[in-house]
Structure 1
Amino acid sequence: MITHTAKRIFERAVDDYHIKNDVDQPFKNPFDTDVDFLEHLLYRKAWIDTVQWHYEDIIRDPQIDPVAALKLKRQIDSSNQERTDMVEYIDSYFLKEYKDIEPNDNATINTESPAWALDRLSILTLKIYHMEEEANRQDASDDHKEACQKKLDILLEQRVDLCAAIDTLIIDIRNGDKYMKVYKQMKMYNDDELNPVLRNQNRNS
């Protein structure tokens, strides 16, 4: 099942990041593109999500320097674009993998592509990691730990359900009961021609 692989790699990426727990640490992908191409994409995807998770923590510091906050906001924008790009790379992998599958006459399309469903699993992996930290935090009150444990239990149940749904989707695609149709995200805010602020700045420069 695809989620067995994805879950293992997402957890590894999150654990690897937290060895240093530094948004500026160098990135090294342990999976070779020639041997483990999908694993390579999934690990990169999870790393981007993990760094961005911590960007979002940092920028919420009420004492953050405004100049540093602006720099970080742009890093978050760049990270969002990377995240979207990685999802599209993963979907391209699945499109190639199942390009010879002929959909059944009554085949239907899913509300989201396999890669966007895996994106949700990546984010859920981060939620579980950090909620487990909170449920076991030594300096937290018993009430805090108990509340976080209840949330963790729900997140773990959610992961079981999400993994089942993703695996079912892949099986349905393989069997021709579902078909893939991927739309590019077409984000506008980073595009010099589509974002009116950037467009006007370029024209005036």
Structure 2
Amino acid sequence: MFSEFAFKIFNESIERYHIKDDVYQSFENPYPKDDIAHLLYRKNWIDTVQWHYEDIIRDPNIEPVAALDLKRKIDASNQDRTDLVEYIDSYFLKKYQSVEILKDAMINTESPAWAIDRLSILALKIYHMNEEVTRNDASVEHLEKCKTKLAILLEQKKDLSTAIDQLLNDIESGKKYMKVYKQMKMYNDDELNPVLRKTQSPK
């Protein structure tokens, strides 16, 4: 099943990141560029680094200049994340381009890649909640609460994985079809963001 394959790669990325546990560490992709695993690994690495950006920026003692720099890194990371989702959807569009779509075929509320995006984030939640469950310095009450939350996350993983695999099966059989819209983010665009537009020198 594709969801199982993707989740395995997400965990590889998360485990590799946490060897150094440093948002500024260098990135190396172990998979060849023409392999879907390459995109999945890169996608989760972006998510993992951003997860830790979000932890750092919530430090109440962070310097304002450092916080602003980090906010810009998070914005750039969000754009990279969106780009990777679109690349993954392009993979599926190409893979299923020859499928004969049934007359009564339906469109899904989200594309396969955006569902896979949620699975990547869920892998991070499970990893970090499991860390909380195994802490030696936490209270019994904290550990019990985290065990309950971890059980819910694992159930969510099961449901989301099933939904992803069902969606891909339906697309492959022509019961559903893909229609992908590019994410037209406006805040990073010099022409679409009025604040950025004002900073541009007149031609």
What TM bracket, shorter-length normalisation?
over 0.9
Task: Give how far 1:15 is off.
Answer: 0.5
User: Residue in 2 aligned with 1:106?
Assistant: 104
Stretches (4+) displaced over 2 A: none
Equivalent pairs counted in the alignment come to 203
User: Residue in 2 aligned with 1:153?
Assistant: 151
CA distances 1:35-57 after superposition (whole Å, capped 9, x unpaired): xx100000000000000000000
Structure 2: which amino acid aligns with 1:39? A
Aligned mate of 1:96, from 90, 94, 97 = 94
Task: Give how far 1:105 is off.
Answer: 0.2
Q: Is 1:61–2:75 an aligned residue pair?
A: no
**SS, match of residue 62 in structure 1:** coil
CA RMSD of aligned residues (A): 0.9
Any unmatched runs of 5+ in structure 1? none
Task: Give how far 1:204 is off.
Answer: 5.9
Any unmatched runs of 5+ in structure 2? none
Give the alignment of 1:14-163 within 5 angstroms. 14-34=14-34, 37-163=35-161
- Alignment partners' CA distance in 2, 1:107 and 1:182: 16
Task: Give how far 1:139 is off.
Answer: 0.3
**SS, match of residue 190 in structure 1:** coil
TM-score by length of 2: 0.99
Task: Give how far 1:203 is off.
Answer: 3.3
Task: Give how far 1:4 is off.
Answer: 1.5
- Alignment partners' CA distance in 1, 2:201 and 2:113: 37
TM-score by length of 1: 0.98
Structure 2: which amino acid aligns with 1:134? E
- Alignment partners' CA distance in 2, 1:33 and 1:73: 29
CA distances 1:145-166 after superposition (whole Å, capped 9, x unpaired): 0000000000000000000000
CA distances 1:3-47 after superposition (whole Å, capped 9, x unpaired): 12101000100000000000000000000114xx10000000000
Q: Percent of pairs identical after alignment?
A: 67
- Alignment partners' CA distance in 2, 1:54 and 1:204: 39
